Structure 1
Amino acid sequence: MNNHKIFNKSFLFLLVSNLSVFIGFEMLLPILPAYLISLQASAIQVGLVTTLFTVGAVFIRPLAGYYLMDNQRKTLAMGACAVLLMITAAYPYLHIVWLFLLLRLIHGIAWGVSTTANGTIAVDLIPKTRLGEGMGYFSISTTVGAIIAPSLGIYIYGSYSFDTLIWSSVILSLTALIALQFMHTPTPVKREKQPFQFFKMIFERDAWFPALLSVITTFSYGAIVTFLVLFGKQKGLEHIFLFFLINAIVSTLLRPFTGRWYDKKGPWSIIIVSSVLGFLSLVVLSFATNDLHLIISAILFGAGYGTVSPSLQTWAVQRVSEEKSGSANATFYSSFDVGVGISALVLGILAEWFSLEMIFRLVSLNFIVVAALVYRDYVSEKNR
């Protein structure tokens, strides 16, 4: 393999697999609570749909990261993907609420292993001198899937049926599994390592700062996924899909530029600039009354959040030694899950007291907090 080439065969198959996994998973998120209500579940049980999943994902990732240090990563990725496929296929056949919730916990475990393994494999396949650029490309499969999938899931469920939605997700999981089969990954170098200690590995210490920033910025994603469709109905915005589409296009088109910017200048300047753009995107969205406002907001969000997220992941990996890249990825993905979980709770409470316009404006301030923290870190690093 060319030591400076990013788009080799294995990396392309990894992109296909990761995109399929994310779309297949994220398209279920807005639908499963409604399905559980149809099973006569209580409000608490509906809330557990997300909580149990998050618990499973967060608590398995330290073990996954530890195992990935010196074991065959492709095998773990394929195993987790196969479990995701089987769990998804089982959903239509579970009509007992507590069994459904148990499956959500197991689903979270498989998801935690799959995403951690895929992220670690990406680090293996990308030349170290182009890690920022390469992780930017890899994160396209994550952010595009996460942004587009909820609307796709709502469309399939509304136009067809729950079973059609599930089997669409199963097909995507099968596609991901097949793509992984054609991928080649280097075997990690065997190194002496400490025994597994859960409470020390649940949070990779050297990656704590990017992980914290990820939790803060994830509130913006949570606000978009949770409230944008409802906001569009309130404001009479009939083409709300434009936000998701344009955001994904802008985020994708900017990756070559932003990745090279990161590799040349480091994380500070690009995260600060993109955080300001993220702030502006949500402010513009809060005042949106027509499609032009929506498009401007989507462009800014794609350039803002679409750049912050992969930059933070790259930064987390770069702050640790190579053998700990699995643990750093586990910490980063867990921070995303924690951010989604917290944002769902906090924003849901705030929505009882504030308008959706005000919710977007409040969440926009998180980007300013991130920019300030990153600038402080830059000054601290410069003075060392």
Structure 2
Amino acid sequence: MKVFGKLEPQQRQNLLVLFTAGILFWSSMASLLPTLPGYVADLGGSKQQIGIVMGAFAIGLLVFRPWLGKLADRRSRKLVLIIGTTVAAIAPLGYLGFKSIPLLMLIRAFHGISIAAFTTAYSTLIVELSPVKHRGELIGYMSLTMPVGLAIGPAIGGFLVEYRGYTPLFILSASLGAIATLACSRIAECSPEVIADNVHKHATSRIPTLTLLGKILRDRALAIPTIVLLLYGLSFGAVSTFVPLFIEETQIDLNPGLFYTAAAIASFSIRLFVGKASDRYGRGVFISSSLVFYGLAMAILSQATDATATIIAAILEGGGSGILVPMMIALLSDRSSSAQRGQIFAICISGLDLGIAIAGPYLGTVAESLGYKGIFGVSAGVTFLGLAIFAILCNKTVENSFGFAIGKSEDAYAIEQL
């Protein structure tokens, strides 16, 4: 991690505060992963209703992320970051106050705003604090907050529910969000010169969100990553929603929290190396590898009958996520200008949000007819479809795309060359 020694003191301090806030935020989110589906089931929710409630999370993501991205570009990254952590502090208390399925859907949708705000501002701030030639490395290190939170949160959440019930769980989740808000308040804003420069850029190049969305969908450089994220989101939605219920249905002797913890450890471990390596070998080969890992994880889950196979799937799932998310952020950073990076992040990552939104109700219907194993079989096919699209269409020609996907060609769409 010698790269941190090359940064200015203010940059290092901001990154440290961001890292702390990130761990708190993701611990708050992850504490509900193995527990909230069971909470909805205990309130009388069917398999399909569980999927709908969990999938409603993405409604807040989809509706608010473009606006939050614009707000981050034009006003303040810090403001958007604080919006995210504040929602994370409020929403868990709503689960305590509302017991009906429709009201839980509303609270879950509101909770989705937290990730829309936090991830957009967090990613944009990291990119702006990172020298171009070390961008992948710093994104890799700073993205460790997610697997650390995903390792801590489910373990604590599962323990609290088992021994103390749901009320302490929701209070803990809210408290972690509140502490993250205090941490974010200590982030130093950009210098007046930088703010003035950004204002000048946006005064001459303000593009409405719908216009920018249309531009992105017509631009292969940004559209293909968005589509791949959408397909990945379908599979991720299956894992985040249905793994605990799958383990219960198949009577596998495994605490669901351990699945997420194993995945988080794998995600953490691989991010230590992938970011720096991508600065040298390119983003494409790592994105391809991540989709292979994730597809194999889904295939193994669809056939799993014991704890060993389930943990192997968790490790592959964590490794796939640990590579794909930071590499997609780095790829989008390479292909976008700083003046519109917040909006482009927000819209492109909305592909992931849409995938998660579709996953809950659609895969819940699949579960009704094929069971939870059928969900993961469908997810495997979807993930490998994303791999095929990326390998064929991720660059200007099929030949260049395949070369970039296996690490043999440079990114022809990169604005800032590494």
Deviation at 1:193, TM superposition (A): 4.0
Aligned residue in 1 for 2:405 = none
Aligned twin of 1:336: 352
SS in structure 2 opposite 1:63?
Answer: helix
Give the aligned partner of residue 352 of structure 1: 368
Residues 147 and 268 of structure 2 are in contact (CA less than 8 Å); yes or no, is this contact kept in structure 1? no
- Check conservation: 1:204, 1:327, Cα contact below 8 A: no
Q: Distance in 2 between the 1:257 and 1:204 partners?
A: 34
1:245 aligns with 2:249: no
Mapping for residues 55-70 of structure 1, pairs under 5 Å: 55-70=59-74
Given that 2:53 and 2:101 are in contact with CA atoms closer than 8 Å, whether structure 1 keeps it comes out as no
CA spacing shift, 1:96–1:342, aligned 2, 3 Å? closer
Query: Is the 2:41–2:50 contact (alpha carbons within 8 Å) kept by the matching residues of 1?
Result: yes
The aligned amino acid for 1:311 is M
CA distance in 1 between partners of 2:186 and 2:242 (Å): 39
User: Structure 1 residues 144-153 or 114-123, which shifts more?
Assistant: 144-153
Change (3 A) 1:70 1:129: farther
Look up the equivalent residue of 2:299 and give its one-letter code: V
Structure 1 residue 165 displacement after superposition: 1.6
Equivalent residues in 2 for 1:297-376, closer than 5 Å: 297-376=313-392
Helix, strand or coil for the counterpart of 1:119?
A: helix
Residue in 2 that maps onto 1:211: 226
Cα offsets for 1:277-319 (capped at 9, x unmatched) = 2222222333333343233323322222321222122212222
Distance in 2, matches of 1:267 and 1:19, equals: 25
| CA distance in 2 between partners of 1:33 and 1:105 (Å) | 15
Letter aligned with residue 210 of structure 2: F
TM superposition shift of 1:42? 10
Shift of 1:213: 0.7
Residue 149 of structure 2 is matched in structure 1 by: 145
Answering whether residue 237 of structure 2 is matched by residue 233 of structure 1, we say no
Give deviations 1:10-42, integer Å, cap 9, x for gaps.
212212212322231343466567667888999
Give me the TM-score of the superposition, normalised by structure 2. 0.78
State the alpha-carbon separation in 2 of the partners of residues 39 and 222 from structure 1.
21
* Contact 2:267 2:323 survives alignment (8 Å): yes
Bigger CA drift: 47-56 or 368-377?
A: 47-56
Match of 2:408? none
Do the aligned residues in 2 keep the contact of 1:54 with 1:337 (CA within 8 Å)? Answer: yes
Query: In structure 2, how many angstroms separate the alpha carbons of the residues matched to 1:33 and 1:292?
Result: 23
> How many Å separate the matches in 1 of 2:245 and 2:105?
27
In 2, are the aligned partners of 1:78 and 1:177 still within 8 Å (CA)?
yes
Consecutive unaligned residues in structure 1, runs of 5 or more: none
Matches within 5 A, 1:89-128: 89=93, 91-93=95-97, 103-128=107-132
Equivalent in 290, 293, 302 of residue 274 of structure 1: 290
The amino acid across from 1:179 in the alignment is: A
Aligned length: 384
1:380 aligns with 2:391: no
Further displaced range: 285-294 or 13-22: 285-294
**Per-residue deviation at 1:103?**
4.8
**Is the contact between residue 31 and residue 154 of structure 1 (CA under 8 Å) also seen in structure 2?**
yes
Deviation at 1:139, TM superposition (A): 2.7
8 Å Cα contact 2:52/2:360 also seen in 1? no
How high is the sequence identity, in percent, across the aligned residues? 27
CA contact under 8 A between 1:275 and 1:371: conserved in structure 2?
A: yes
1:343 CA drift (Å):
1.0
Query: Per the alignment, in what secondary structure is the counterpart of residue 143 of structure 2?
Result: helix
Counterpart for residue 409 of structure 2: none
Please give the residue correspondences for 1:2-81 in structure 2 after superposition, counting only pairs within 5 Å: 3=6, 8-28=12-32, 49-50=53-54, 53-81=57-85
Residue 236 of structure 2 is matched in structure 1 by 221
Distance 2:150 2:214 in 1: 24
How far residue 210 of structure 1 moved from its aligned partner, in angstroms, is 1.2
Amino acid at match of 2:61: A
Match of residue 197, structure 1, among 204, 208, 223: 208
What is the rounded CA distance, in whole Å, between the counterparts of 1:226 and 1:27 in structure 2? 13
Counterparts in 2 of 1:98 and 1:254: CA distance versus 1, 3 Å: closer
Question: Which deviations, in whole Å up to 9, do the C-alpha atoms of 1:256-279 show, x marking residues without a partner?
Answer: 321122212222211112222222
Amino acid at match of 2:247: G
Q: 1:218 to 1:150 in 2, by over 3 A?
A: farther
Contact 1:313 1:332 in 2 (8 A): no
- In structure 1, distance between residues paired with 2:153 and 2:345: 22
Give the CA deviation at 1:91. 4.7
Against the structure 1 CA distance between its residues 199 and 178, is the aligned structure 2 distance closer, same or farther, given a 3 Å change threshold?
same
Residue 415 (structure 2) aligns with: none
Shift in alpha-carbon separation, 1:93–1:58, aligned structure 2, 3 A: same
Distance 1:198 1:153, change over 3 A: same
Q: Tell me how large the CA RMSD over aligned residues is.
A: 3.4
Task: Tell me the distance in 2 between the aligned counterparts of 1:182 and 1:312.
Answer: 28
Q: Report the Cα distance in structure 1 between the residues aligned to 2:127 and 2:114, rounded to whole angstroms.
A: 20
Q: Aligned letter for 1:346?
A: Y
Take 2:331 and 2:80, find their aligned partners in 1: how far apart are those partners?
24
Separation in structure 2 between the aligned mates of residue 91 and residue 292 of structure 1, nearest angstrom: 34
Secondary structure of residue in 1 paired with 2:370? coil
Residues 288-297 or 102-111, more deviating: 102-111
- Alpha carbons of 1:132 and 1:39: their partners in 2 closer, same or farther (altered >3 Å)? same
More displaced stretch, 249-258 vs 52-61: 52-61
CA–CA separation in structure 2 for the residues paired with 1:109 and 1:131: 27
For the pair 1:181 / 2:199, whether they are aligned, the reply is no
